[in-house]
Amino acid sequence: MSFSPTGEDEALLVAEIISGNRELFRLLIERHQQGVHAMGMGFFHNSEDAADFTQDVFLKAYRGLSAFKGDSRFSTWLYSIAYNTAVNGIKRRREYRSLAEEDALDEVSPESEALRRAVKQAVLGAVADLPEKYRVCVDLYFFYERSLLEIEKITGFPLNTVKSHLFRAKKLLREKLEGF
């Protein structure tokens, strides 16, 4: 059976893995490894811890694969495992750094690079000042492009709380960045 794991056929892929074709799990790893690792970097700030985190998340997902019922996208289920793993990990460390701190844009001209750096610093400062619960929602919504329902499933926050966190975070960011 040949799979190109998109959102639609990931449920079929999971069913195939559960029924015994375990080597297909590598397709899920290949599809989601970069995103899970990026989440690990946002929480743990170094490649080694992020790599350990990524391995731990996929191990937990593999062991609990039969718990995936297909009610949501596989990525939502996986990011929920990743989020809970990260939160448990940082409880010991009490640190979190937003993905906004990652360098995501590559500009060519020196002028645009200087402007980008200034904007990035202003936004990073404003995002860094947000309460952690707001930063997590902002990251998942804007950087991981997760829907509100997915954020609810990943974080365990009620849907209205997710909406409220995003609304308040945007309001705080607007206020902090108003003069910029």
Domains and CATH numbers, the chain: 1-97 (1.10.1740.10), 102-180 (1.10.10.10)
Q: What is the pLDDT of residue 1?
A: 43
Secondary structure of 25-40 in HEC code, one letter for each residue: HHHHHHHHHHHHHHHH
Q: What is the pLDDT of residue 46?
A: 83
Residue pair 138/98 in contact (Cβ under 8 Å)? The answer is yes
Taking the C-alpha atoms of residue 178 and residue 180, their distance in angstroms, rounded to an integer, is 6
- What burial class does residue 163 get, using C-beta atoms within 10 Å of its C-beta: 0-12 exposed, 13-18 middle, 19+ buried? middle
Return the number of other C-beta atoms located less than 10 Å from residue 99's C-beta: 20
Q: What is the pLDDT of residue 95?
A: 52
**How much is the pTM?**
0.57
Q: Tens of pLDDT along the chain (180 residues)? A: 444 445 557 888 888 888 888 889 999 999 999 999 998 888 888 888 889 999 999 999 999 998 888 788 888 899 999 998 888 877 666 555 555 544 444 444 677 667 777 777 787 788 778 898 998 888 888 778 888 999 999 899 999 999 999 999 989 988 888 876
Taking the C-alpha atoms of residue 180 and residue 177, their distance in angstroms, rounded to an integer, is 5
Taking the C-alpha atoms of residue 163 and residue 148, their distance in angstroms, rounded to an integer, is 7
104: Cα separation from own chain's centroid: 14
